[in-house]
Structure 1
Amino acid sequence: MTHLAPEEVGEAGAPAPRPAPTAEGKNRLSSSWGPAWLSRRWVLPLAEAVVSLVAALGFTLLSTHISVNPLIRVGQVSGLAKLQQYVAVLGLPLLAVLLYTAHRGSLLRHQVAKRLVCAALAGLATGVLAGGVVVALRGTPWGLGGQEGDPSALIAMANSFLHGESMSGIYPPLFPGLMAVWAKIRYDVPGGTGFALKDFQIFFTAIAGPMTYLAWRLLLRPFWALLIAVPSALLCMDPIRPYSHGSMLVLLPLLAYCLREMRRSAERPLRRSLLRGAVLGLVFGVVFLWYSGWYVWAAPGVFVLALFLFPWRAGRTAVKRAGVFVGVTLLTAGVVGAPLIYQMARLGSQTPDRYAFLAVYVDPAYVLGWVSDRSGKLEYQTWPAAGEMAGQSGFALLLLFAVGLGVGLALRNIMVLTAAATLAGAWLARFWFASHMAHDKAVQLYPRTTWIIMYCLMILAVLGMMAVVNRGSGWAERTLRPSGAAPAARVVPRRVVAQLAAGMVCAIALFATMGASWSVNRYMPQSDNMTMGIDAWRAHTIKKADGTCPRYAPNKKNCADIVTNDWRQNPDDGELWCGGIGPLNWKTVCGRKAPASELKKEEQEQKAKQ
């Protein structure tokens, strides 16, 4: 399973037959182009992985040299501009090489350059996002969120691990467990788990682009893998909890790859099926311990799809080998994920999600936008803005049109089937939980299906464009070739295709740098607790390990003390918590009175305004 997809991929995601050598290029790397070992199967995939990770982490490290005061808006703008300057200096030469090889030299050299440039761009995209977090947190050892909200829960869980306590309820233990290990190794001081969280927020945000790109490269050519990886990573990644969405981004291509391997298991020796199943099971188990939520939404559709794709009628041998592959995969994943599975079976019904916020109050059929519980001045009466056609925007109509192309022209493609099945299962689960919310007084995280549904729509849209390109080029070759022309002659020269693809890669790169800057800007420190910038602001208001305030603390005489509490489950009062709503409106929105603490907080805020 370690081999990335070849340069050409067939209709169902399978490798296409290698073309015969032509005058425009050879199938093998010649000894005059480079060392003979470069033609080995594993070298270029490894080079893609290394280049992508180095680009992401190298850019993040470079961002530590940006010297601005992140609490001043002018300093934030200068930091954003410096990030763009850095990425331009690094990215423009890469694009120049890509364009040069597309217009000059052998096509084989261009293919190699395209693979490495696409890998580097995937790394730079999320490297800019991680670099922005570095700028926003400059001068403080604390991560986004400080000791409030979800970061406080992660810190408390890591503290529990340090103090020898067992798993924290049904929450995936791997990320807070690694936080505890890193805090012990790297810091070993009060507050060390909070400092470890900052390191992890930056590191795992940076590698999200490379990991998503490499996961899709198991199935797609470089351009199409980049076209999915960059927009989805920039849209979905939340540096406060980078492990959550990062697991979703790699889970879907891994599921498609697993289903493809199940269908092919009949063609392979039993021993190879056992090995591939064990490796995939190990990967799925680790991802499950990393963040398990996406399995809940993906499981219904993927389970039904697997039943349809299983080779029931291919003969006893095929059924046996496919069954062995599936069984080994599930068994290995179950063994690795057993601790969390046990906790979920034991405590799942005791931990309902009762936290409501803006995404809970809006039309549940809206899945093309997301707001967190720090939604600024947005309200459910005015967001989302109604579009031109039955409330749907032009972007929504174009996206759905591309989705229709994917489903209509490439339904046999295993990636299309996987994304469509996941979308259908998540869609049904979303409305099942939402429809029971008023009765059960539990949200059960159903707004998070917005992310996986958007991701599936983006996948289907890209695969729809890929199907149009493949079908269109095939039609042109069949119908426009002059009579009597050699079968190997091409109507559309490969050189033209390479040049067009290079231009589109440049467009993706421009989108990536613009989109990354937009995403980074949201996390720049702001004191308004209804904006996403409050998370970086809080990081600058907590004392360092030596008891002093961070360098750019807004009030250096009044910084918060370090909290080293262990994790404890909050008591459940059986009622919805109405986040983002004024206490006086809790009755009309959530059907309950606001707690006394919220009423008191409202009174204090009103007095402060007066």
Structure 2
Amino acid sequence: MSGWASGLRRVVVPGAEVVAAVAGGLVMPVAARFVDVDPLDRTGQVSALAALQVRFTVLGVVLLGVLMFCHRWRGGRAYDVAKRVVCAALAGLASGFLAGGIVVALKGTPWPLFGLSGDTGRLVEWSASIVHGHGNPNPTYPPLTLHALAWWAQLFHHGNTAAAFRDMEIGGAAITGPAAYCAWRFVLSPLWALVVGVVPAYSIIDPYKPYGAVVMIVLLPVFVVSVRHTMRVGDMAWRPVLVSAVLFGLLYSLLFLIYPGSSLWSAPGLVAAVLLLFPWSKARVGRLLAFIGVTVAVFGVLCGWYVKDLTGPGNVDRAYGFDAYTDPAFFSMWRTDMPGDVGQWPPPGELAGLGLFSVLTFAGLGVALWLGWRRPLAVTVACVFGGTWLWRMEIASRMWATGTVQLWPRTGNQLLYCVLVLGAAATAFAATRLAGWPPLPSRLGAHVGALAAVLLVLGSAASSVSDYWMPAKTNSYKILAYVSQTMRKPDGTCPKYAPNHQCSATGDQSWMNNFAGPRNH
């Protein structure tokens, strides 16, 4: 292959992966528009979930068929490219399923989840302020997110930020899988990027305010790439050291301005991973310090003002929700932040109160470190987990003295994603160690079998999470779509499927009655 053709391939094939992932994420919500059900009727919800599952499964089987065809066609010369495209498309279909579920849940109403109540109302109001030229009224909220919302509203909805927020919820859910897959592809092969990056991502995927979960998911492989780069930077020429530092500074700034929480919680772990894995010597330290210094300088120029606002003395969080009263060592399940009467929480487990699922995730962490010791993936993710855990406990330990929460319960999703990634990585490390023993009867059989298992896992998870958001008047996140379905439309009429054709200017507000004080169990 000529140098020109080789260079073109290095661009076209990754581009095809990105296109396949995004297309997979968009096809499901588009298909969901043709699912004709009443989204407030339980029978309609079940029918919709089944209809989405049929579409997801058929598309998945077609992709597996393409992979098998390419294995035979022209001696399998296109097989590796086909595998990359198929894995990317499956990643998109997985999150597209949830986006399709949100399309069904909001069928017949123009409003986003929660109408204009709670966080939705505030974000719609703040971004509308930007649209009208008054600037951002809340400088501590992620500025790039609000400005992107305002820009989208002006470009596609004549300045209607509520409609733009609805698009962001559906589109954000759809793009989560492609974002996870593409980010992890910088670290892992296509199949393992799907298993290690996308499957665990479904534990924290969030269509309500999707940008937080997307940044959290993307940051982890970015950290791994960063640590891996610092291990090599000491032996690089000065020019690539400085250029790469500027690029990393820009990337970190972009993610931080979209959602800063994950970056702040992860910073101690990232520093620890660099210190542990850098090949220390006098000759290399100078380039490492230059790389870190330029990266931090770029970040400081672009984000220093925002860091100052976030860490200022006036930015105090006293939002004592349900999750702030739970055992801080428990993060394996997320029940919602609406308290009500949930009985014993965390639920009782088999081992001194610890559930089997938690035991397995911790065992996966240990195996990942055992098999992946000195590997950037295992060490970086474990350090991020450890740093986030300690920060969580430090903030929680000061609740009594300070009377503040400072968002420590929101570290739970990051901790869960980290241990699930490590568990999946342990499987990848073990598979690498056992490669060739016992000898596999067929490479195609191994790939098809693994992808079929992933297809079933992701399809089942997507259905479960989609059901979690179907509208219902309950003390759960189902109430968010229910509020949207009971809120009067801008033209004064009720949404098509409003219960008994009744609605109000604000939608059903019974969710306010769910809040209660702490429970001692």
Pairing 1:169-568 to 2, within 5 Å after superposition: 169-188=139-158, 192-313=160-281, 315=283, 318-345=284-311, 348-374=312-338, 377-379=341-343, 382-473=344-435, 476=437, 492=439, 496-528=442-474, 530-554=475-499, 556=501, 558-560=503-505
Indicate conservation of the 8 Å contact 2:338/2:515, yes or no.
Answer: no
The structural deviation recorded for 1:447 is 1.1
User: Partner of 2:442: helix, strand, or coil?
Assistant: helix
Deviations 1:186-237 (A, max 9, x none): 2236xx2111110111111100100011100001011111012322222101
The structural deviation recorded for 1:150 is 1.4
Indicate conservation of the 8 Å contact 1:416/1:460, yes or no.
Answer: yes
| Most deviating of 519-528 and 147-156 | 147-156
| Most deviating of 552-561 and 259-268 | 552-561
Identity %: 36
Aligned to 1:8: none
User: Partner of 2:364: helix, strand, or coil?
Assistant: helix
* AA in 2 matched with 1:279: L
The structural deviation recorded for 1:36 is 5.3
* AA in 1 matched with 2:41: I
* AA in 1 matched with 2:198: V
Aligned to 1:23: none
Indicate conservation of the 8 Å contact 1:301/1:423, yes or no.
Answer: yes
Aligned to 1:44: 13
Indicate conservation of the 8 Å contact 1:125/1:512, yes or no.
Answer: yes
Indicate conservation of the 8 Å contact 1:123/1:206, yes or no.
Answer: yes
User: Partner of 1:42: helix, strand, or coil?
Assistant: helix
Aligned to 1:109: 78
* Structure 1: unaligned runs, 5 residues or longer: 1-27, 30-34, 477-490, 563-577, 590-610
Aligned to 1:601: none
Cα 1:496/1:561, change in 2 over 3 Å: closer
Cα 1:335/1:311, change in 2 over 3 Å: farther
Cα 1:366/1:106, change in 2 over 3 Å: farther
The structural deviation recorded for 1:248 is 0.1
Aligned to 1:78: 47
Aligned to 2:92: 123
Aligned to 1:593: none
* AA in 1 matched with 2:407: L
TM-score where L is the length of structure 1: 0.79
TM-score where L is the length of structure 2: 0.92
User: Partner of 2:37: helix, strand, or coil?
Assistant: coil
Indicate conservation of the 8 Å contact 2:126/2:136, yes or no.
Answer: no
Which is higher, the Rg of structure 1 or of structure 2? 1
Deviations 1:555-606 (A, max 9, x none): 64542169xxxxxxxxxxxxxxx99554xx56x76xxxxxxxxxxxxxxxxx
Separation of aligned partners in 1, 2:473 and 2:294:
52
Deviations 1:28-66 (A, max 9, x none): 79xxxxx95697222211111111001111222222222
* AA in 1 matched with 2:180: T
The structural deviation recorded for 1:119 is 0.4
* AA in 2 matched with 1:175: T
Aligned to 1:567: none
User: Partner of 1:237: helix, strand, or coil?
Assistant: coil
Q: Among 103, 106, 109, which residue is 1:134 paired with?
A: 103
Cα 1:135/1:557, change in 2 over 3 Å: closer
Indicate conservation of the 8 Å contact 1:426/1:449, yes or no.
Answer: yes
* Structure 2: unaligned runs, 5 residues or longer: none
Cα 1:238/1:214, change in 2 over 3 Å: same
CA RMSD of aligned residues (A): 2.6
Aligned to 2:122: 153
* AA in 1 matched with 2:45: Q
Separation of aligned partners in 2, 1:39 and 1:303:
37
Aligned to 1:20: none
* AA in 1 matched with 2:442: V
The structural deviation recorded for 1:242 is 0.2
Indicate conservation of the 8 Å contact 2:277/2:376, yes or no.
Answer: no
Indicate conservation of the 8 Å contact 1:405/1:467, yes or no.
Answer: no
Higher helix share: 2
Separation of aligned partners in 1, 2:357 and 2:71:
32
* AA in 2 matched with 1:250: V
Separation of aligned partners in 1, 2:274 and 2:467:
42
The structural deviation recorded for 1:126 is 0.2
Deviations 1:372-399 (A, max 9, x none): 12366523xx122222222223322332
* AA in 1 matched with 2:491: D
Separation of aligned partners in 2, 1:539 and 1:506:
36
The structural deviation recorded for 1:179 is 1.4
Q: Among 135, 148, 161, which residue is 1:165 paired with?
A: 135
User: Partner of 2:55: helix, strand, or coil?
Assistant: helix
User: Partner of 1:40: helix, strand, or coil?
Assistant: helix
* AA in 2 matched with 1:502: V
The structural deviation recorded for 1:122 is 0.3
